[in-house]
Structure 1
Amino acid sequence: MAKAPSDNQPFLIARGGPFYDLQLKAKLVHTTGLNPLVRAVTFVAVAWGIPFVLSLAAGTAFGPLEARPFLLDPGAWARFFLAIGLLVLAETQIEEHLREGVRQLFDGRLLAAGSLAPARAAVAKALNRRNSSLAELVCLLLAVFASWYFVTIMRSDASPSWTVSINDAGNSPSPAAWWSIIVSNTLFWFLVGRALWRHIIWSLLLGTLSRLETRLVATHPDGHAGLGFVGKYPNAYVLFTVAVSCVISAAVTHQVLHGTFTASAIGTVMGIWLILIYAYFGIPLAGFMRLLTVLKRRTLLAAAARGTEYQRQAERNTLGENVFATEDKASDDDIPDPGKFYEAAKKLSPMLVTRATLVPVSAAALLPFVAVGLTQLPLKELTPILKHLLVL
Structure 2
Amino acid sequence: MADDALEMVRQRVLVITLVAWLPLLVLAALDGHLLNRSVAVPFLLDLEVHIRFLVAVPILIIAELVVHRRLRPITLAFLDRKIIPEDSVTRFDEAIRSAFRLRNSVAAELLLVAFVYGVGVLVIWRQYTALQTTATWYAVPGPGGLTLSLAGFWYGYVSVPIFQFLLIRWYFRLFIWTRFLWQVSRIELSLVPTHPDRVGGLGFLANTVYAFMALLVAHGAMLAAQFANRIFFAGAALTEFKAETGAMVLFLLCLVFGPLLVFAPQLAQAKRKGLSEYGALAERYVREFDTKWLRGGAPAGEALVGSGDIQSLADLANSFDVVRTMRIAPITRDAIVRLAAAVLVPIVPLALTMMSLEELLKKLFGLVF
Give the count of matched residue pairs.
345
Give the 5 Å matches for 1:320-335: 320=296
Aligned to 1:213: 188
Instruction: Return the match for 1:238 from 213, 217, 222.
Output: 213
Deviations 1:218-254 (A, max 9, x none): 2323333221111211211122112222222222223
TM-score (norm 2): 0.83
Question: Which stretch of the first structure deviates more once superposed, 233-242 or 75-84?
Answer: 75-84
**Pair 1:374-2:352 in alignment:** yes
**Percentage identity across aligned positions?**
25
SS for the counterpart of 1:224 is: coil
SS for the counterpart of 2:199 is: coil
Structure 1's unaligned 5+ residue stretches are: 1-27, 166-170, 322-335
User: Take 1:114 and 1:383, find their aligned partners in 2: how far apart are those partners?
Assistant: 59
Instruction: Return the match for 1:248 from 197, 204, 223.
Output: 223
Preserved CA contact (<8 Å) 1:39 1:88:
yes
Aligned to 1:361: 339
**Pair 1:113-2:86 in alignment:** yes
User: Take 1:237 and 1:72, find their aligned partners in 2: how far apart are those partners?
Assistant: 30
**Pair 1:273-2:273 in alignment:** no
SS for the counterpart of 1:222 is: coil
SS for the counterpart of 1:49 is: helix
Note closer, same or farther for the CA distance 1:249–1:66 as it changes in structure 2 (3 Å cut).
farther
User: Take 2:271 and 2:366, find their aligned partners in 1: how far apart are those partners?
Assistant: 33
Give the 5 Å matches for 1:38-49: 38-49=11-22
Preserved CA contact (<8 Å) 1:69 1:160:
yes
SS for the counterpart of 1:367 is: helix
Aligned to 1:3: none
Deviations 1:64-89 (A, max 9, x none): 59721112112212332222111111
Let me know the Cα RMSD of the aligned residues. Answer: 3.0
User: Take 2:351 and 2:241, find their aligned partners in 1: how far apart are those partners?
Assistant: 7
Structure 2's unaligned 5+ residue stretches are: 298-311
Preserved CA contact (<8 Å) 1:114 1:213:
no
Give the 5 Å matches for 1:12-161: 28-29=1-2, 32-64=5-37, 67-145=40-118, 146-149=120-123, 150-151=125-126, 156-161=132-137
TM-score (norm 1): 0.79
User: Take 1:219 and 1:384, find their aligned partners in 2: how far apart are those partners?
Assistant: 43
How far off is 1:34 after superposition?
Answer: 2.4
User: Take 2:364 and 2:235, find their aligned partners in 1: how far apart are those partners?
Assistant: 21
User: Take 2:87 and 2:277, find their aligned partners in 1: how far apart are those partners?
Assistant: 24
**Pair 1:184-2:159 in alignment:** yes
User: Take 2:179 and 2:221, find their aligned partners in 1: how far apart are those partners?
Assistant: 28
User: Take 1:224 and 1:34, find their aligned partners in 2: how far apart are those partners?
Assistant: 35
Aligned to 2:300: none
